[in-house]
Amino acid sequence: MALQAAFVVPHPPLIIPAVGRGKEELIRATIDSYDEVARQIAALEPQTIIVTSPHATAYRDSFHISPGTSAHGDMRRFDAPDTDLTCTYDTELANRISTLAAAEDFPAGTEGERDPSIDHGTYIPLYFVDKFYRDYEVVRIGLSGYGPLEHYHLGQIIAQAVEEIDRRAVLVASGDLSHKLTHDGPYGFAAEGPVFDGQITEAMAQGDFLRILGFDEGFCDKAAECGLRSFQIMAGALDGKSVDARLLSYEGPFGVGYAVASFIVTGDDDARRFGARYEDEQRARVQAARADEDAYVTLARASVEHFVREHTPLPRPDGLPDDMLTQRAGVFVSLHEHGRLRGCIGTIGPVTPCIADEIIRNGISACSEDPRFDPVRPDELDQLETSVDVLGEAEDIDSTDELDPQRYGVIVSNGGRRGLLLPMLDGVDTVEEQVEIACRKAGISPHEPGTTLQRFEVVRHE
């Protein structure tokens, strides 16, 4: 059988009466909608409930599927130790998902579990389901640091596994929305918070999964959202399916957005293959941008593409502008894929004879040596966006009053430790944030004696 339905649900701990102690009544619409979802699940009588949770074991470079035959959890970390819940795992389905992923070298599997207990992002949905239905097993899956297409594709693998073993199943995408809706909330306010919640709930109501894939990463970071990647897995699990989409409720009285939505599968619809559509749109956008790139970006992109395909450095091409051949400077090459950083490596000062050679060298490093990322694959090249920052000479400054994150980059030094942060970065809006990140990169305490500051300007090519 194919997946029968999917549901979006939040996971506020205080929705559990033993935790909320009466405060849960302030989100009564969410409780009522949660009960409605549980009734719908009970009516479908699934053999398996697949839960994707931001609070299950998560890794930057892989998706974790909880192993074993069962799990137990409670809400003791939220001062409700007498609550508890046990679930039985569907090991056959979990293993089938892992097998399908391994067959295509997709990073998902059961290795590396850090905590076998049920996380609250899983506990809360199952708490509500158990009110109305108990004859089910569970597959629990965490999120990753990958982008929207990888999360979407995991959903496709899940749906394929469900169909191959003829399992009657539903998927529950656990996730809160923005955590920055109000000034008096626990996480404060950001203007992006209410905007994100408005856009994501509109997409849910319309069943517009393409929109769920297309959110800008910097915007989402400022909104401090929680569940988007969980929803993207859900969208992939419903790839090519027509759905009856309903937004059942939305609330945010505590400064965090809670949405409940249902997506009942009603048939097949090839027009709703949103992953392929998103990939095509992104590829077209990148190709259009490349039509306007300058010689600096063209050279960096050529360096990356040559190294990824040929595994050798690009020979310096003929016909480059004179300033790239006669001037020396530190250079950073940055790579982005679908709006997310994919690699960034550079030199504070020049280490090669000219800017052109600096670009070639650091393009190779950005695509193959950034420790935060796997090396770039050939199939990613047509979706990469490249930028080049040419650094001006660094100058000593006496205080942070002389910094401006939109104009100056910063270098923080102490002994042999040194950290650099470029200017004009998404999500870095204040001097304090800029210096703190540079210090963290260098392993320096912001107020450590002997710490010195320098600033520099850049010419950005993108």
What 8-state DSSP symbol labels residue 181?
B
Angstrom distance (rounded) from CA 63 to CA 254: 30
pLDDT value, residue 358: 98
Residue 80 pLDDT > 80:
yes
Let me know: does 120 contact 15? Beta carbons within 8 Å.
Answer: no
pLDDT value, residue 289: 87
Angstrom distance (rounded) from CA 206 to CA 211: 10
pLDDT value, residue 338: 82
Which has the minimum average pLDDT: 160-164, 174-178, 288-292, 329-333?
Answer: 288-292
Residue 438, token pair as written in the block: 């540079």
- Which of 217, 171, 158 lies closest to 336 in space, CA to CA? 217
Domains of the chain plus CATH, in order, are 5-277 (3.40.830.10), 293-461 (3.30.700.20)
Angstrom distance (rounded) from CA 219 to CA 346: 25
Residue 1 pLDDT > 80:
no
pLDDT value, residue 427: 78
Let me know: does 354 contact 326? Beta carbons within 8 Å.
Answer: yes
- Which of 207, 137, 141, 133 lies closest to 168 in space, CA to CA? 137
Helix axes 274-290 and 148-164, enclosed angle (nearest 10): 150
- Give the burial class of 376: count Cβ atoms within 10 A of its Cβ; 0-12 exposed, 13-18 middle, 19 or more buried: buried
pLDDT value, residue 215: 94
pLDDT value, residue 64: 98
Angstrom distance (rounded) from CA 359 to CA 352: 9
Average pLDDT, the chain: 95
- Give the burial class of 26: count Cβ atoms within 10 A of its Cβ; 0-12 exposed, 13-18 middle, 19 or more buried: middle
Rg of the chain taking only CA atoms, in angstroms: 24
Let me know: does 401 contact 419? Beta carbons within 8 Å.
Answer: no
pLDDT value, residue 96: 98
Mean pLDDT, residues 276-288: 91
Residue 216 pLDDT > 80:
yes
Sheet holding 169-174, edge to edge: 137-142, 48-53, 169-174, 5-9, 258-268, 241-251
Mean pLDDT, residues 419-425: 92
pLDDT digits (tens, 9 = 90+) for 54-64: 999 999 899 99
Mean pLDDT, residues 180-206: 96
Q: What percent of the chain has pLDDT over 90?
A: 90
